[in-house]
Amino acid sequence: MTTQPYEPPSQKDWARLYQAAIEFKRLEPWEWLMEDEIFGVRDPISGTTGYCCVSGGEDEELGNPGLMVFMGDAGLAHCLELLLAPEDQMEEEDIAIRAFDMLFNVQMISLIFADQEELEDRDLAAVRSVGLKLRGQRQWPLFRSTRPGFLPWFLDKEEARFFTLALEQAMEIARQLQLAPDSVSPVFSEDRLLVRVPQERAEGYVWHNEWVKPVVPEAAPAPMPTLAINQDLVQRVREKTRVRQGIWEVNVFLSPAPTGRPNERPYFPRVTMCVDKSSGFVLDSTLDEPWLPLDMVGDHLLELMDKVEAVPRQIDVASDEVRAIVEPVCTALGIKLRRARRLPKLEAARMSAAFFIGGPPGP
């Protein structure tokens, strides 16, 4: 993952996209489609499937109406996690942290119908460029692109192209479901999922329904690569520290404070945080660009041990991913590594830091 140049949609791209969005709004598929009725649209160019769910409704309590498109199999897994997360069994702080981690670690493109005040100048310029005359609440199309590690941003040319297709095929699915709900119901199951698939013909693409078995990566997570650590640092820590004492809580996550260069998509730095479990004292909090190798996390821990001239007897982590990242350090130094359900002291420190900086702004 690296920063990428931004290629904006052309006026023709915007015109087709806004036309599809206005037709989608007139159809009002949220009146009969529920958020958990997931279906797919296959991109004829890349072959990637975007997994769609209609969101919100006219009632304010339901949130702004629109369409969310989660890209690829990993996107489907995030979609299901967002829809099925048992919030009633979670602490308020856990919900806030989990929501941030899910929303900003997913590749998604979305549309909501918002008030004019919610649109940025660039959004309004795109509306004006296609000659749309809009007024009233929840009437203004607001498009956003979400990519792992980056701030939600304006659609680029390729995203606008595919989102237009997704809206057109979402309307086709909605009409089919309205006419024959039992035969086309796209409610997700482990066995099948409805996907709109294109076939290229001389006259263009012809679309048809295809039932596929969904692939959810979390059901069989890919093994983490073996990460290298700085052996010179390992030796230096061994020579300087003889006693193993205390427990450290360690986590790796995205900072809620985006940064970046002018005219480039802002990104969320990757944070490696280490907290003493007994006192709650933050021993270290290091920022990296999110596309840099994960090997750096292990080196950060070794540098911390070298600096404080101390090695914990145990390190607690709260995910298999972080466990795999930290394991080479623990193995090299004989530190016990425990997979915990929660990291209470670290989560408190993380929430305090997020409150202090004000959380993630929009574009």
Task: Tell me the per-residue pLDDT of 108-151, one tens digit each, with 9 for 90 and over.
Answer: 999 999 999 999 999 999 999 999 999 999 999 999 999 888 88
Residue 361 scores a pLDDT above 50: no
Query: What mean pLDDT is predicted for residues 250-264?
Result: 86
**Mean confidence (pLDDT) of the chain:** 86
For a pLDDT cut of 70, what percent of the chain falls above it? 84
Kindly report each contact of residues 81-89 with a partner whose C-beta sits within 8 Å and lies 24 or more positions away, as own/partner: 81/218, 83/35, 83/36, 83/53
The full set of domain ranges for the chain reads 11-219, 231-357
Task: Tell me the per-residue pLDDT of 327-340, one tens digit each, with 9 for 90 and over.
Answer: 999 999 999 999 99
Res 77: pLDDT: 86
Query: What mean pLDDT is predicted for residues 81-105?
Result: 57
Query: What mean pLDDT is predicted for residues 358-362?
Result: 45
| CB 58 within 8 Å of CB 65 | yes
CATH code of domain 231-357: 3.30.420.10
Location of structure tokens 């193995």: 331
Query: pLDDT band at residue 345, thresholds of 50, 70 and 90?
Result: very high
Query: pLDDT band at residue 227, thresholds of 50, 70 and 90?
Result: confident
Residue 59 scores a pLDDT above 80: no
End-to-end CA distance of the chain: 20
Query: What mean pLDDT is predicted for residues 228-244?
Result: 90
Residue 88 scores a pLDDT above 80: no
